């Protein structure tokens, strides 16, 4: 049975979006400082895809 996830009290969906995007940004900065070459770009592409997926889910109201 699928149940709808409830947003914890005191935290809006927009706040959760900001935290998620901030976490992606921190991971991208860590990748920039620690990785080089194709691995850095691969991680950036992955994080960009996850950020886009998060933004689309937010816009859809999921």
Residue 56: the pLDDT is 96
- 31 inside domain: yes
Residue 62's pLDDT is: 82
Q: Does a structural domain hold residue 24?
A: yes
- Indicate the helix (H) or strand (E) that contains 46: helix 38-60
For residue 41, tell me if it sits in a domain.
Answer: yes
Cβ-proximal residues to 17 (8 Å cutoff; 6+ apart), any chain: 54, 55, 58
Whether residue 6 lies inside any domain: the answer is no
pLDDT digits (tens, 9 = 90+) for 17-33: 999 999 999 999 999 99
C-alpha to C-alpha distance for 41 and 29, rounded to whole angstroms: 12
Q: Which domain holds residue 44?
A: 13-60
How far does the chain reach from its first CA to its final CA, in angstroms? 17
State how far the Cα of 28 lies from the Cα of 17, in Å rounded to an integer: 16
Question: Is 90 exceeded by the pLDDT of residue 2?
Answer: no
């Amino acid at each position: 049975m699928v149940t709808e996830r409830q947003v914890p009290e005191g935290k809006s969906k927009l706040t959760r979006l900001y935290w998620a995007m901030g976490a992606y940004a921190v991971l991208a900065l860590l990748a920039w400082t620690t990785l080089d070459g194709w691995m850095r770009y691969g991680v950036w592409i992955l994080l960009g895809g996850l950020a886009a997926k998060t933004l689309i889910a937010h816009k859809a109201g999921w």
